Amino acid sequence: MTGEQEEVPDGDGGKIQWRRAEIPERFQAKGLDPAAWWLLGSGRQQFFPPEPPAPPQDDPVDPQYDQKQTSAGSTAEQATPGARRAPVRLPIMTTLLEEGARETLLKLLAEDSDQIFVPGFVRRSSESWPVAGQPFPMFLEEGQLQARPIIDLLASGQLRIKLSPPLPFTETGVDAPTVVTPVPEGSVITAVIDDGITVGHERFRLADGTSRVHHFWNMDPDVADAAAPFSLGREWSKGGPGGIDDFLAQATSGGHIDEDRFMRLAGMVDPARYRPGGEMRRLSHGTHVLDCAAGYPPEANAADRPIIAVQLPRLAVEDTTGATMEVYLSAALHYIRDRARAIAIASGGVPIPVVVNLSYGFTAGAHDGSSDMERLFDQFVDEANPPMQFTLSAGNGHLSRGYAVVPPPDPAPGPDYVLEWRVLPDDRTPTLMQLWLDEPVASGDRITVALETPGGETSTPLGEDPTAAQTLTLTGLPGAPEIASVRYAVDPASGRGYFELRLVPTAPLPETAPPHVLAPAGLWRVHVTIVDPAEVTAARPVRIWVQRDDSIPGYPLRGRQSFLEHPAHWDPTFAEYALAPVQPLPANAAIADDVPVRREFMLNALATGRRPLVIGAYENKRRFAEPYSAGGPHARPCWRSIALVDAADGPAHPGKLAAGTRSGSWAAMNGTSVATPRMAKLAANAIAAGWPVTQFTVRVAASLFDDRTLARGRTDLPPDRGGCGRLRLERTAPVARGVARET
């Protein structure tokens, strides 16, 4: 079987052809993220800027490295657009698996320290850095990633690397002086990793007008400022000259704190240099979330609820697939822990507990707690240095038709299944589907997968062969660029086999020049054939996720969410009006057991770990689990949210009010993004009151506090999405809040 097929017209006068593509050996190294083959190969045009013109020969020094040696003042020339191009660096998450490999890695880092960048606080975070088994963020140039010593470590199973697409970022290699301000005894730190956080807001201030935000790291490369250099983006501390309190004071006139002025002075907003984000809008995700998690009126003087805030890079936020996000998330986690330790030391040395809220998520992944980020969550909770807990959103994708199983719970006769995959036009981001199996078995292929274009061209079925892929190429264009691929790999983190189906965007980015390499929009078909019925059963099916690929409100419209079509998901009530395809079934309608496309397990792929508090949403008035609130599979109760928190007041007010971006303003938002930080606030107060806050205790609390009498049985929670019950904040919060206010 060669895999070569005939060329066929693609409808635009060109030709498309499925081909077999060998995967180079260096991309098959055991510990290397399988995505490297695509990211550094045919996918690179999606992320890498066009090749820059060759630099003049008399200037061999890379400006980026040169800049490190110079004083802060001389870096100003870098602001000149196009004058100098920073090298493209790949954000990677590295996990050292063997203690013995540390020497090799450190030697490599030392020899190449100018070219491997690790945020300084990560280096500082442990005496025996890097800590074996603990994922940590690094930024490598492409060539360095494929250097022989690294490949050897990867191939021998001593090192694991998870790869993210690169972002253009400015890196000065110098950490700004961090000013640590002590906190009162009994404090609990709340940390929020989000987007559009207005740290000057009154809900994050004390009565005297100073800030409760002790450290704010804006990772966005745009805010990098030569005057206040930080490894990646920029950090503001509460105290000291150029600190948050300093800028708040400078922006105060006649007792009024001008928050726009504060952000201008602090360099948190600068339309002369970059496009303003959520912090300049009326409602921003990050400010709303931080208020839910740690907002108090200034007169409450909640000095014992200090805040650490991290703004993610906007490009990573914009990319809802999460592919760009994980390295930055891990950096944020290390940063939060480092700063929390520093605050504890400055406050007398007693460890200060930290609650970290993450109201973000995506859908594709192993969903078994094995991913690097999930390991990091679990490790940080287990190490308890300082005591940490995480609140994670269950996700909002319950109705989005992004999950299927093969075979379905009640298998139809025969081994062949076809999934209809709707890919929308005007999608400016890649589209991805993953089909997850268990660990590979000796007997060989368990399934084969083939992908059929909307025009009916089907790839040669691919079995569990990690050495070759099926790629769909545009043969009419130079180099026959790839527009789709089917490949199989073993996930380095979980050891499980999975198939990955990738499409390039269906619409070009506006600034790109033709010829555009685009995938056709329309109905793609995924052919799954069960080869080994003993290994693939209804009890142990292939789990299939469509990756999240939508656009976030307030951001440029780029992604368009693909989904799986099946008539069983249409509401028959509307069939006669020809509205069926656009009218989904009511949230709790049952899907017949012979349908592969399920309405379950759209749980946030970051939220299947053993330790974090995974929070779904319910509506307060009617006590329904919100239709969007995602869950796990019926069969595995551990894979689901552990509790629901209300994220809406009722049908007439489908959201919760919390801070708008400027003091005195309020805005409503809903979603598990809102439920989760509300849980974070409760968790912080409970920890302050001396209660253990773990998955177990929160399950118990949700069971106890869930109001079953009011529910009266008519709003029984769905088993896959309801967690252990509805956590009634209005009942539990006053107890803990009273304790919190005693200090």
- Per CB under 8 A, residues contacting another protein are 253-254, 256, 258, 261, 264, 270-277, 280-282, 554
For the bound state, the minimum distance from the C-beta of residue 171 to another protein, rounded and expressed in Å, comes to 22
CA angle, residues 544, 466, 562, in degrees to nearest 5: 30
For the bound state, the minimum distance from the C-beta of residue 257 to another protein, rounded and expressed in Å, comes to 11
Tokens for 733, please give them: 């919060």
Query: Between 101 and 263, whose beta carbon lies closer to another protein?
Result: 263
Task: Map tokens 């307030």 to a residue.
Answer: 554
Query: Between 112 and 270, whose beta carbon lies closer to another protein?
Result: 270
Q: What single-letter amino acid sits at 523?
A: L
For the bound state, the minimum distance from the C-beta of residue 81 to another protein, rounded and expressed in Å, comes to 8
Query: Between 135 and 277, whose beta carbon lies closer to another protein?
Result: 277
Query: Between 127 and 511, whose beta carbon lies closer to another protein?
Result: 511
Query: Between 142 and 258, whose beta carbon lies closer to another protein?
Result: 258
For the bound state, the minimum distance from the C-beta of residue 692 to another protein, rounded and expressed in Å, comes to 43
* Distance from C-alpha of 459 to C-alpha of 471, rounded to nearest angstrom: 8
Query: Between 260 and 565, whose beta carbon lies closer to another protein?
Result: 260
Strand-strand pairing, 497-503 and 403-406: unpaired
* Distance from C-alpha of 311 to C-alpha of 616, rounded to nearest angstrom: 23
* Distance from C-alpha of 648 to C-alpha of 645, rounded to nearest angstrom: 9
Using CA of residue 607, residue 612, residue 617, residue 623, what is the dihedral sign?
A: positive
* Distance from C-alpha of 420 to C-alpha of 567, rounded to nearest angstrom: 10
For the bound state, the minimum distance from the C-beta of residue 89 to another protein, rounded and expressed in Å, comes to 25
For the bound state, the minimum distance from the C-beta of residue 282 to another protein, rounded and expressed in Å, comes to 6
Bond from prior residue into 515 cis (ω within 30 degrees of 0):
yes
Query: Between 265 and 542, whose beta carbon lies closer to another protein?
Result: 265
For the bound state, the minimum distance from the C-beta of residue 337 to another protein, rounded and expressed in Å, comes to 33
* Distance from C-alpha of 641 to C-alpha of 631, rounded to nearest angstrom: 6
Query: Between 261 and 527, whose beta carbon lies closer to another protein?
Result: 261
Query: Between 68 and 84, whose beta carbon lies closer to another protein?
Result: 84
Map residue 661 onto helix, strand or coil.
Answer: coil
Query: Between 79 and 534, whose beta carbon lies closer to another protein?
Result: 79
For the bound state, the minimum distance from the C-beta of residue 538 to another protein, rounded and expressed in Å, comes to 47
> Is residue 692 exposed (0-12), middle (13-18) or buried (19+ Cβ within 10 Å)?
exposed
Query: Between 557 and 575, whose beta carbon lies closer to another protein?
Result: 557
CA torsion 66-69-70-72 (nearest 10°) is: 110
Query: Between 107 and 282, whose beta carbon lies closer to another protein?
Result: 282
User: Closest Cα to residue 454, out of 522, 505, 546, 517?
Assistant: 522
Tokens for 308, please give them: 């650490």
Q: Which DSSP symbol is given to 202?
A: G
Map residue 499 onto helix, strand or coil.
Answer: strand
For the bound state, the minimum distance from the C-beta of residue 249 to another protein, rounded and expressed in Å, comes to 15
Tokens for 698, please give them: 């929160």
* Distance from C-alpha of 521 to C-alpha of 431, rounded to nearest angstrom: 11
Query: Between 256 and 636, whose beta carbon lies closer to another protein?
Result: 256
* Distance from C-alpha of 288 to C-alpha of 655, rounded to nearest angstrom: 11
Phi, psi (degrees; rounded to nearest 5) at 485: -150, 150
Task: Map tokens 């060539």 to a residue.
Answer: 143
For the bound state, the minimum distance from the C-beta of residue 242 to another protein, rounded and expressed in Å, comes to 18
Angle between helices 672-688 and 729-740 (to 10 degrees): 40
> Is residue 511 exposed (0-12), middle (13-18) or buried (19+ Cβ within 10 Å)?
exposed
* Distance from C-alpha of 430 to C-alpha of 504, rounded to nearest angstrom: 5
For the bound state, the minimum distance from the C-beta of residue 261 to another protein, rounded and expressed in Å, comes to 6
* Distance from C-alpha of 608 to C-alpha of 638, rounded to nearest angstrom: 8
For the bound state, the minimum distance from the C-beta of residue 297 to another protein, rounded and expressed in Å, comes to 20
Query: Between 298 and 361, whose beta carbon lies closer to another protein?
Result: 298
For the bound state, the minimum distance from the C-beta of residue 659 to another protein, rounded and expressed in Å, comes to 16
693 Cβ partners below 8 Å, 6+ apart? 355, 389, 613, 683, 686, 687
For the bound state, the minimum distance from the C-beta of residue 266 to another protein, rounded and expressed in Å, comes to 14
Query: Between 511 and 730, whose beta carbon lies closer to another protein?
Result: 511
Secondary structure of 321-356 in HEC code, one letter for each residue: CCCCCHHHHHHHHHHHHHHHHHHHHHCCCCCCCEEE
For the bound state, the minimum distance from the C-beta of residue 426 to another protein, rounded and expressed in Å, comes to 18
> Is residue 700 exposed (0-12), middle (13-18) or buried (19+ Cβ within 10 Å)?
middle
Query: Between 248 and 595, whose beta carbon lies closer to another protein?
Result: 248
* Distance from C-alpha of 467 to C-alpha of 20, rounded to nearest angstrom: 10
For the bound state, the minimum distance from the C-beta of residue 271 to another protein, rounded and expressed in Å, comes to 5
Q: Which residues of 359-426 form beta strands (DSSP E)?
A: 388-393, 403-406, 416-423
For the bound state, the minimum distance from the C-beta of residue 267 to another protein, rounded and expressed in Å, comes to 12
Query: Between 137 and 277, whose beta carbon lies closer to another protein?
Result: 277
Helical (H) or strand (E) element with 379: helix 372-383
